């Protein structure tokens, strides 16, 4: 059975690249550019993992991460720009892993395997 992944990013090109990569690796993937859909889609889809871009203006990925972790206990990977100024928030973050952008897809897959404790 393939793993279900929900991905949120506000960058259409990056989101499309990630989606194609997951489809190629036989993941069941849903993507959204709408931050307001993340919680409802997580509840409906019940993904094995959620991937959130944390560098979206007006969107607090750290808060959404905490909400998902508390209410649904779904593992989360945050996508973070290498030059992000969120260092303090990262230390207090409840995410299971952080992957830096631009996304290196093999590294993202390995992070998912690590979080889901797969060989």
Provide the whole-model pTM. Answer: 0.88
How far CA 119 is from CA of 1, 111, 114, in Å, comes to 15, 11, 8
**Which pLDDT belongs to residue 36?**
87
Closest to 29 measured CA to CA, from 53, 45, 52: 45
Query: Which residue ranges of the chain lie beneath pLDDT 50?
Result: 119
Q: What gap in Å lies between CA 53 and CA 20, rounded to an integer?
A: 17
**Which pLDDT belongs to residue 84?**
64
Q: What gap in Å lies between CA 84 and CA 2, rounded to an integer?
A: 32
**Which pLDDT belongs to residue 92?**
60
115 Cα distance to chain centroid: 12
- Give residue limits of the domains in the chain: 4-115
Domain 4-115: which topology?
A: Rossmann fold (3.40.50)
The DSSP symbol for 25 reads: T
Task: Kindly give, in sequence order, each residue whose CB lies less than 8 Å from that of residue 112, ignoring residues fewer than 6 positions away.
Answer: 3, 5, 49, 77, 118
pLDDT tens-digit series, residues 48-82:
999 998 877 778 887 888 888 888 989 999 998 87
φ, ψ for residue 97 (rounded to 5)? -160, 160
**Which pLDDT belongs to residue 90?**
56
**Which pLDDT belongs to residue 42?**
94
């Amino acid at each position: 059975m393939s793993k279900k992944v929900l991905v949120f990013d506000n960058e259409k090109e990056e989101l499309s690249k990630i989606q194609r990569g997951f489809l190629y690796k036989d993941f069941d993937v849903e993507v959204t550019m709408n931050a307001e859909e993340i919680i409802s889609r997580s509840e409906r889809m019940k993904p094995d993992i959620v991937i959130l871009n944390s560098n979206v203006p007006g969107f607090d990925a750290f808060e959404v991460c905490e909400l998902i972790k508390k209410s649904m206990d779904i593992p989360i990977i945050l996508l973070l720009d290498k030059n992000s100024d969120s260092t303090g928030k990262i230390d207090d973050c409840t995410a299971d892993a952080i992957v830096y952008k631009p996304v290196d897809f093999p590294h993202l897959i390995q992070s998912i395997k690590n979080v889901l404790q797969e060989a």
